[in-house]
Amino acid sequence: MSMSAAVTLALLFFLSVALNEQVTEGCTCLPEHPQQQFCESDFVIRAQIIQKVPSIHPLLTTYEIQTIQRFKLSKGIQVIYTPHGMNLNNGDYLLSGHFSDGVAVVNLCDRVEPWNNLSSVQERYLNLYWMGCGCKILPCFGKSCLIEILQKNCLVRINDSLVLDDEEALQSICLPGNAGFCTWHKFLKRTISGQDSLVLRCESMSMSAAVTLALLFFLSVALNEQVTEGCTCLPEHPQQQFCESDFVIRAQIIQKLPSIHPLLTAYEIQTIQRFKLSKGIQVIYTPHGMNLNNGDYLLSGHFSDGVAVVNLCDRVEPWNNLSSVQERYLNLYWMGCGCKISPCFGKSCLIEILQKKCLVRINDSLVLDDEEALQSICLPGNAGFCTWHKFVDIKQNPASSLLNGQKRDGEQQAVER
């Protein structure tokens, strides 16, 4: 069906489930850093809300706007659409959102903020966030926030109430640095020439030294507890882990080796099968407390200064624990790496048609609770939107049947969820 019809149908379904409650009632959006929202949006603008106008979508509200300033936008916008229950007063706003069939949609979890609420630093950063869109910003919980130097991305702290609780990160920009690693940078002042000056939040150092220092700090805080104790990783779909990793392999752990990094454990491995890898690996490094027995594993991780690091939140799974479907999907996940998979909570999971990505359900205990998604692959479809596809049967040509997505009896296929 057309996207406009799909939006209407999805919202109708949502409202019927919600028993006529407001759309925003009970909807929880995972907190995001402003840079994340900027980079994930099709447009980010400062705009004046002029008035409501008649809507061509019965269950969407339409606003006439006047664009004042463009931060991320390639074409003009005169009208935006929002779900009912998301009321905007006339005034000056910062707005982000996505295009669907040429229509500008500002959704429940997009950025909608009165312009006067922004600080001067936040206003300035809107012209700079684009520089960090090649970086990834991940939420962290508790002690896992102490080991951000091991991540090939920037971490932002979220508290137990699922509120973004990291003022330093909110006043910073995540930018790429040495060896492809991203770190937080922060404004200190403007130079005399009027050029904005960015200053690193942390000292520059080689990755090997940084790993050692970060782990030493972590261990001193943890009072000699195991590194994994109390560490919480945000649950991720296996496709997310695949696409975010530098390598994904099936490997035999042979033995521990003497390590050139005092606080990292080295393992000699034999690669059995490469799912995502451009060069050979004979040795991997892990944080202490993350012990691997000799045996056959699925491993994912990142390269740092030519060293293969398997971190606390990477995928480390005995090969025999994988189902036949999971094994097959390891050869197919690459096809969906242009898609984004985002966690959702409660009623927000019902409106995925408005998202330009696939949603995966997480329960109140921060556990991935979505068996259908775990048995599916997120693939691009019409109008650049991504949807879940699932194997029904396995035959000779999995790739072509996945991309087709049509239901044909007796053949392998991916059926859109």
Cα dihedral 393, 398, 403, 407, rounded to 10, equals -20
3-state secondary structure of 23: coil
Q: What Å distances lie between residue 306 and 91, 132, 184, 209, CA to CA?
A: 52, 23, 23, 14
Please name every residue paired with 394 in a beta bridge, in sequence order, or none if there are none: none
Write the DSSP string, 139-182.
EEEEGGGGGGGGSSSEEEEB-TTS-B--HHHHTEEEEE-GGG-E
Alpha-carbon distance of 417 to 341, in angstroms, equals: 14
Query: 212, exposed or middle or buried, with CB in 10 Å at 0-12, 13-18, 19+?
Result: middle
**Sequence-separated (6 or more) residues with CB below 8 Å from residue 143:** 218, 221, 222, 229, 230, 231, 232
CA atoms 8, 13, 16, 19: torsion sign: negative
Q: Are the beta carbons of 360 and 368 closer than 8 angstroms?
A: yes
CA angle 184, 336, 182 (to 5 degrees): 10
Report whether 27 belongs to an annotated binding site: yes
Instruction: State how far the Cα of 170 lies from the Cα of 393, in Å rounded to an integer.
Output: 47
Kindly give the residue spans of alpha helices, DSSP state H, lying in 250-383.
324-329, 371-374
Determine the Cα–Cα distance for residues 407 and 417; give it in Å rounded to an integer. Answer: 12
Please calculate the CA angle 87-88-93 and round it to the nearest 5 degrees: 150
Q: How far is CA 308 from the centre of its chain?
A: 22
List all residues 6 or more positions away from 123 whose beta carbon is below 8 Å from its beta carbon.
none
Q: State how far the Cα of 100 lies from the Cα of 139, in Å rounded to an integer.
A: 28
User: Which residues fall in the annotated binding site?
Assistant: 27
User: Which residues fall in the annotated binding site for Zn(2+)?
Assistant: 27
